[in-house]
A and B are shown apart, each in its own frame.
Chain A
Amino acid sequence: MNGKLDFVSRSQYSGYYLGILGTVVVVGLVALPYVVAQGFTNTLVNLFILLILANMWNVLAGYGGLVSVGQQAFIGIGAYTVLLLAQHGIEPFLAIPVAVVVGAVFAYPISWFLFRLTGGYFAIATWVVAVAAGITITGIPSLGGGTGASLPGLQSMSSVLLGAFTYWASLAVVLASLVSVYLLLRSRLGLALTAVRDNEIGARSIGVKVTRAKRIVYLISAAGCAGAGALIAISQLNVQAANVFNVQWTAYMIFAVLIGGIGSIEGPIIGSVVFIVLQQSLARFNAWYLVIVGAVAVIIAIWARGGIWGVWADRSSTKLFPVGYFLRKSSPEGDQLVTQTNK
């Protein structure tokens, strides 16, 4: 009946169409600067930065259960890494991957301190770390002190070209972050993390080294946020501690994740798009847009705990990123999913 005949697929449907769809979307996005006005790609840069942050906060809190309100520490570290390297003659675009690595390197010792704490204490400590990092950097005159410094190295580029390169760099980082998280969640570690997401004690008792898994997630999240920080530095051509270490970045990423749906790859993507659309269409209300976005997040948190994607996922098993396992069996009618009815 089963045993040797069983096999396991990673997607309920063929991944073929998803592959084609993904390729079309990526090619379209790459070609975009040739087609649309620069204002639009600039908005997309903001979307991509938010998407990276939301994606990272989602793995951190949604899978690792690590509710951090201090991810701006790594945004700042990423931005200042680019600034420091640019001051020493290194092309800012080439500094992005360095910033990513530097983010993870800083996160490692910080995690040993933070992981002694849990829950609310953990959250507050992450924030304290971010504030301390901001103050420390403000005290370094060569990095511009409190007033910040403009980013050297890109002045020779025409504004159109710079805009396009910034867009492509952001697209590259956002794709890298999505692909990394996708591959992570498809791996054995990813399945273990998903178990941690659903029930931490249960996960421990079947052999999941929870703290180790969380530390890995924390490092990945720091790396991604540092990448976003590098992009912020490049897109603003200016690095100021009060901006890059601002807790509002964390508020944005949390809003985007809550709106879209925590604990899935799709949720933060949807949430980031909704956030940016709201931000753009409410621009004339100035800072009030944040209040409205926050209200939307709160309403969703109360009435649709799984966010927009969660509402969809409750009704359909179709996913953009297939990370699951499906037990199938061979039968005379062809391969099929094991279900209650075909006993």
Chain B
Amino acid sequence: MENTPLLELIGIVKRFNKVSVAEGLAFSVADGEAVGIVGPNGAGKTSLFGIISGELHEDAGEVRLGGELLNRRDSADRCKMGIGRTHQVPRPFQQMTVFENVLVAAHQGAGLKGRDATDLASSVLSDTGLYDVANRPAGRLGLLHRKRLELARALATRPRILLLDEVAGGLTDPEVDELIKIVLKARKSGVAVIWIEHAVRALVETVDRLICIAGGRIIGDGKPAQVLAMAEVKELFLGTEPGEESALRMDHYASHGHLGDGEGRQVSP
């Protein structure tokens, strides 16, 4: 079992009526590996996270964590087993404080009690730069802090793999720099990462490997520089260099008006 990948997707198929978001998607992520995912709007990136985390049911295919088949596990179980995710549209517990938001994750996701849970919650808050707003109701946070809270909550579940869905979306460059530091620190602790982001710069600085998805299929998978150099991928990015504000990302705002329209339409299982 030495070479069992941490996360393994096999032949994932998912369609919403006529819209196909996954047509036999297959890839795996090793322990501690960091993978970036790029792709145009509506490519099915968020849906893929839904399938991995158990919020969406695939039409066909298998999801495995450490070799164990997950298909019949609900999202809470998958979280306890080590899949920590953020949502593209943050889902804060509005009337609870930031500290309480993170504490539930430490209780339920990481399975901790009492002092262990509160210690983990407070250290995650310092790591994610939320310590100073610990006692503030989450409903009163701005976008930056809401995005960080998503990340903090996922980290407080003590994940083996962290799924980040556009946590840098809408942030300024210095804010993205902070975020990159946070993610790199998490990586150091050994957690694997899959990071969906339109701003390629953040990915290039953090991931080992980049996957490009379009039309429910993988059209590129490899070292970030190689994938970004592929003709098919370049075409999607309309010629912009990685590191710049990509045309893809601008397109994102133009077509959606706000972040994560697709996510907002998802239904719970």
Contacts and interface: CB of A to CB of B under 8 A. Distances in A.
Contacts of B166: none
B131 A2 contact: yes
B100 interface: yes
Contacts of B119: 3, 6
A207 B268 contact: no
Q: Is the interface of B mostly helix, strand, loop or mixed?
A: helix
Given A6-B122, A207-B76, A207-B79, A188 B107 contact: yes
Interface stretch (B17-25, B132-140, B186-194): B132-140
Interface in A183-224: 188, 191-192, 194-195, 197-210
A205 B134 CA distance: 21
Interface stretch (B3-11, B88-96, B168-176, B195-203): B88-96
A191 B154 contact: no
A206 B105 contact: yes
Contacts of A209: 74, 76-77, 108
B157 A327 contact: no
A325 B97 contact: yes
Interface residues of A, number: 35
B103 interface: yes
Interface in B64-82: 74-77, 79-80
Nearest to A188: B107
A263 B80 CA distance: 27
Contact of A3 (B75, B93, B100, B126): B126
Interface string B106-126: 011111010000110011011
A316 interface: no
A340 B132 contact: yes
Interface string A231-272: 000000000000000000000000000000001000000000
**Shortest 3 CB-CB distances between A and B: which pairs?**
A202-B91, A207-B109, A198-B93
Contacts of A94: none
Nearest to A340: B132
B128 to A, nearest CB: 13
B87 interface: yes
B261 interface: no
17 contacts: A1-B126, A3-B123, A191-B96, A191-B103, A192-B104, A194-B100, A201-B87, A201-B91, A204-B268, A205-B75, A206-B79, A206-B109, A206-B153, A207-B79, A207-B109, A327-B125, A339-B132
A198 B126 contact: no
A343 B94 CA distance: 24
Contacts of B113: 188
A271 B109 CA distance: 36
B55 A325 contact: no
A197 B107 CA distance: 17
B107 A2 contact: no
Interface in A273-329: 324-327
Contacts of A160: none
Nearest to A191: B104
A161 interface: no
B53 interface: yes
A1 B125 CA distance: 13
Contact of A198 (B79, B92, B157): B92
A81 B107 CA distance: 39
B160 interface: no
A338 interface: yes
Given A194-B93, A198-B96, A209-B108, 7 more contacts: A3-B126, A194-B96, A195-B104, A201-B268, A202-B92, A205-B76, A209-B77
Given A191-B104, A324-B97, A327-B135, A3 B79 contact: no
A8 interface: yes
B14 interface: no
B237 interface: no
A195 B135 contact: no
B85 interface: yes
A343 B104 CA distance: 25
A337 interface: yes
A198 B94 contact: yes
A291 B100 CA distance: 40
Interface string A2-28: 110011100000000000000000000
Contacts of B118: 6-8, 325, 327
Contacts of A7: 118
B141 to A, nearest CB: 12
Nearest to A325: B100
B131 A192 contact: no
Contacts of B79: 204-207
Contacts of A203: 93, 104, 108
A195 B93 contact: yes
Contacts of A194: 93, 95-96, 100, 104
Contacts of B122: 2-3, 6, 8, 327
B107 A191 contact: yes
A332 B55 CA distance: 47
Given A199-B92, A207-B108, A338 B131 contact: yes
